[in-house]
Amino acid sequence: MYNLEFENTIMFLNYTIALSDLGTLSNMGVFSLIIINKAGGLIYQREFQAGLRKLSTNDYLVLAGTFHGVHAITRSITPKIPSVQPPSPATSSPSTTTPAASHSYPNPGVPVTGLDYLETDKFRLTCFQTLTGTKFLLFTDPLTGNVDTIVQKIYELYADFVMKNPFYQIEMPVRCEAFDRHLGAWLRGRT
Amino acid sequence: MVVYSFYIFDRHAECIYKRRWLPRPTSIVGKSRSEAAPTGLGQTVRSSDDDSKLVFGTVFSLRNMVRKLGGEEDNFVSFTTSQYKLHYYETPTNTKFVMLTDLKSPSMRIALQQIYINLFVEYVVKNPLSPTEHPGGVGVNNELFEESLEQFVVRAV
């Protein structure tokens, strides 16, 4: 009885390993994940798969800070399309027309964001910013599809295992074993 | 596809050419804009000068970041926000070509390369009257280059 159960476990293990290998080879090209807090500080960095150069911790901190600044600049260089002042009667006071209303953005109705996707020859960077200003940077293979789903899931895991962790101090580096475990398991288990 | 602006930066980090194509105003009214023009124009010129510095800072930082992560031979190609897309091409001599377009545009890397090969090299580099460096845009702002750039962008749209 014991023996049979043992064998079953081994078979199951082999099966899961084969599955995860398949997943890694077929379409999962997630290189690494970086989480930046709202002040531009690096709070989490993890590599899942080789593909990018390894940097020192100091370099990752610099990268996080630089990206935080660049992200703000990319939002401010959004092209503004001048719009003609609405035809107003000549008697109306000109002071009511403010300069802020004299232009519109290319995609009206969509909130202005900073850098969302960055493409290079070797990787693709997806940046997701939460409403509170935390940024998730996901480095993937350029051919990986469905990156938005992956980022959303990572955000869910972050909410569940980091934000709900009573011992986690907000804006501080993430050291939550449950988050690491679930993140790794989910990314490996995806096929 | 809409092209919003186009910049060339030389190896000394100076903006040697910039051009903006502002789309038609969003609301169409019959009234002439003549009285609003002077302030609007002044505003545009000043912010465009600042914009070119911001654009340079952005592409410079991102390029360095990409080189650090992807290795020396990796190239930064483009980035997208919810409102626009920025395309980047750098020549071996570190002249940087940057173009801002709308989100629907395909990759403009080939187009930027064509601008470099067919327009910049032909009309600026090979021009005997143009200096080797272009401080303040001297030599780049010649009629032939501007005219063909205009045509190139209009054709690409």
Q: What is the CATH number of the domain that holds A168?
A: 3.30.450.70
Closest residue by Cα to residue A30 from A174, A132, A168, A183: A183
Q: Which domain holds residue A179?
A: 18-78+105-190
Tokens of A164: 């709900």
| Portion of chain B with pLDDT greater than 70, in percent | 83
Is the ipTM reported for this complex over the cut 0.90?
A: no
Region of poorest pLDDT, from A85-89, B4-8, B102-106: A85-89
Tokens of A141: 């293979």
A57 vs B: CB within 8 A: no
- Give this prediction's pTM: 0.79
Mean pLDDT for the stretch of residues B142-153: 90
Which residues, in sequence order, are bridge partners of residue A128? A136
pLDDT of A88: 52
Task: Decide: A71 and A34 in contact? Cβ < 8 Å.
Answer: no
Q: Cα separations (Å) of B106 from A138, A170, A185, B78?
A: 23, 41, 36, 10
Is A130 contained in some domain?
Answer: yes
B61 vs A: CB within 8 A: yes
pLDDT of A8: 53
Is A83 contained in some domain?
Answer: no
Mean pLDDT for the stretch of residues A177-182: 95
User: How many domains are contained in chain A?
Assistant: 1
Helix residue ranges, H only, chain B: 37-70, 109-114, 143-156
Of A55, A74, A122, the CB nearest to B81: A74
Is A98 contained in some domain?
Answer: no
Is A8 contained in some domain?
Answer: no
Task: Decide if A75 and B81 are in contact by the 8 Å CB cutoff.
Answer: yes
Task: Decide if A70 and B58 are in contact by the 8 Å CB cutoff.
Answer: yes
Is A99 contained in some domain?
Answer: no
Is A85 contained in some domain?
Answer: no
Is A157 contained in some domain?
Answer: yes
Tokens of B48: 């465009």
Is A23 contained in some domain?
Answer: yes
Alpha-carbon dihedral of residues B94, B99, B104, B106, nearest 10 degrees? -30
